[in-house]
A and B are shown apart, each in its own frame.
Chain A
């Protein structure tokens, strides 16, 4: 995802990504996937920019207790960019947020809680 002015989504790419939507909160994005999977396994977000970004971390901003059910039913996750003080922050215009999301398609989960 490439950020525009005030963190707006100016472009996004990626197989399986249907939409990246900027929420009203600074640095908060809802990612909608094209397909429904049976379990979210991993999410990672990293900034790409020629100079250091104000974004220190990217958090999965969802309720853990309902995470899996929500992801399955909505095909969405919500991520939050945080600065070095832990506050919500928009990525700089032109910065790229790369994210990797791993799902499981199988409904067999012998190690699930």
Chain B
């Protein structure tokens, strides 16, 4: 496309600088669903959410089953299926999911036709929300200096994230880019606390690095 008003040159005091434009799409509880960007090797939530599970059997059952909360996180630990002596496990799951559409459970292995004894209870456990909005970004190459990380949350509704901050000392983050170790970026809410980025949001990233080991002359 022709752009007659565009000028061709852009100057910088820095030598051998490069700009990486990347982005990532956020899934449930802040997990990274996908990312893109030339020069970015990986973007992950540092401590991803874990789904609550149950493996085993309770009174009335004859074989082990595994149940898993559909949405990872602490909330799955509240999932409890209580037998009545007549309903099958599959029926109990359906009843729970109808009553708790935001905190559903699925049978991931085993037979759902088993009937739990009256008052026998299956409790899911070990679900975790993980860290709130703390991401590790690893670059594809090593660089001599990180000069800027800029991020922008994209969402059709107002996000609870005020900004994303590099959660490292400058010494640490500069060492990280030289050794291709993670750059830690934390999403912060408007109260300044760590904040989970909304599911479905996209974060645009602009990372400016320098290949040259020599600092630009001062003054």
Check B206 against A42 for contact (C-beta < 8 Å).
yes
Q: Assess whether B130 is interfacial by the CB under 8 Å rule.
A: no
In this complex, how many residues of chain B approach chain A with their Cβ under 8 Å: the count is 32
Whole-angstrom distance between the alpha carbons of A102 and B21 in the complex? Answer: 9
Shortest B142–chain A CB gap in Å is 19
Which residues of A from 73 to 113 have beta carbons under 8 Å from B?
80, 82-88, 102, 104-105, 110-113
Digit string of B191-219 for contact with A (CB within 8 Å is 1, else 0)? 00000000011101110000000000000
Smallest Cβ-Cβ distance to A25: which chain B residue: B158
Q: Assess whether A43 is interfacial by the CB under 8 Å rule.
A: yes
- Chain A residues contacting B36 (CB-CB under 8 Å) are 111-113
Q: Assess whether A67 is interfacial by the CB under 8 Å rule.
A: yes
- Chain B residues contacting A86 (CB-CB under 8 Å) are 158-160, 162, 189-190
Digit string of A50-78 for contact with B (CB within 8 Å is 1, else 0)? 00000011011111110100000000000
Which residues of B from 153 to 209 have beta carbons under 8 Å from A?
153-160, 162-163, 189-190, 200-202, 204-206
**A105-B153 contact given A64-B25, A86-B160, A112-B36, CB 8 Å threshold:** no
Smallest Cβ-Cβ distance to A84: which chain B residue: B190
Check B155 against A42 for contact (C-beta < 8 Å).
no
Shortest A13–chain B CB gap in Å is 14
Check A64 against B154 for contact (C-beta < 8 Å).
yes
Shortest B17–chain A CB gap in Å is 15
- Chain A residues contacting B155 (CB-CB under 8 Å) are 59-64
Check B152 against A60 for contact (C-beta < 8 Å).
yes
Q: Assess whether B38 is interfacial by the CB under 8 Å rule.
A: yes
Smallest Cβ-Cβ distance to B40: which chain A residue: A111
Return the contact of A57 from the options B150, B162, B206 (Cβ within 8 A).
B162
- Chain A residues contacting B202 (CB-CB under 8 Å) are 64, 67
- Chain A residues contacting B152 (CB-CB under 8 Å) are 42-44, 59-60
Check A61 against B158 for contact (C-beta < 8 Å).
yes
Most buried by A among B1, B154, B202: B154
- Chain A residues contacting B21 (CB-CB under 8 Å) are 41-42, 102, 104
Q: Assess whether B34 is interfacial by the CB under 8 Å rule.
A: yes
Return the contact of B163 from the options A35, A37, A57, A83 (Cβ within 8 A).
A57
- Chain A residues contacting B158 (CB-CB under 8 Å) are 59, 61, 80, 82, 86-88
**A56-B5 contact given A42-B204, A43-B152, A102-B206, CB 8 Å threshold:** no
Whole-angstrom distance between the alpha carbons of A15 and B39 in the complex? Answer: 29
- Chain A residues contacting B154 (CB-CB under 8 Å) are 59-60, 62, 64, 67
9 pairs of A and B residues whose beta carbons are closest in the complex:
A64-B202, A111-B38, A86-B190, A63-B156, A41-B21, A42-B206, A113-B36, A60-B154, A64-B154
Other A-B contacts than A41-B204, A111-B37, 6 sampled, CB-CB below 8 A, are A41-B206, A59-B153, A59-B159, A80-B158, A86-B160, A86-B162
| Residue contacts A-B, CB under 8 angstroms, 7 given | A59-B153, A60-B153, A61-B158, A64-B25, A64-B201, A82-B158, A104-B21
